[in-house]
Structure 1
Amino acid sequence: MAILNKPIASPDGKILMRPEEFKKWLKKFDADKDGRISTQELREAIRANGGWFTTRKGRDGVRMADKDGSGYIDDNEINNLKDFALKYLGVKIITY
């Protein structure tokens, strides 16, 4: 699972990313280039990292992060995926 050019892994095997790295990585799945992440696009991110039950997890992830109720995750809401990324994407978002 190569997420970064030089991924850094934590002792528990999670990939460590700063928030801006996570945003950049997640935007790779913005298939329609509208600047937002849809349920389908989040499903693709989960699938790319070997995840299962992507339909339910993608829907749950969008619901968790979508604070304005638009049905999408916009740039301001990506940070709301911190717990989701850890649990379903194998990514630990860190600040240092």
Structure 2
Amino acid sequence: MSLLVNQRLPRVGGETSKPKHVAGGVPFSKEQLRDIFKRFDCDKDGRLSKEELKKAFSELGSRVPAFRTLAALHHADENGDGFISEEELEALLQYALGLGYTIKME
């Protein structure tokens, strides 16, 4: 499982692919999503900024990561500071699970 979260998946021809949001794929587990979001905490301050969220949603395959970021903040940023803290991560994960992101190997 951690292979899917911590590195890109090999594809025939030596190229790499990243997880995509597609119908019929294997859904990400809550733990996989947690690992992905934590990986995008680039400055390691224990919270996710708008830019870090945008990059994470892009990695998940969102076609409009900026919109997903704003929607995620609306759903999960309980104190309204513009960040997703460790305490707010559970709400973010529930939101992301509801979007149905799936793993696709190309």
Would you say same fold, with TM above 0.5? yes
User: Match of 1:70?
Assistant: 81
Q: Which runs of 5+ in 1 are unaligned?
A: 6-10, 92-96
Residue from 29, 35, 41 that aligns with 1:16:
29
Alignment check: 8 A CA contact 2:48 2:83 kept: yes
User: Match of 1:56?
Assistant: 67
1:2 aligned counterpart, secondary structure: helix
Compare relative contact order (CA 8 Å, sep 6+) and give the higher one, 1 or 2: 2
1:42 aligned counterpart, secondary structure: helix
Whether 2:53 is the aligned partner of 1:39: answer no
The TM-score with structure 2 as length reference comes to 0.64
Give the count of matched residue pairs.
84
Percent of pairs identical after alignment? 26
Alignment root-mean-square deviation, CA: 2.6
Q: List, as ranges, runs of 4+ consecutive aligned residues in structure 1 with deviation greater than 6 Å.
A: none
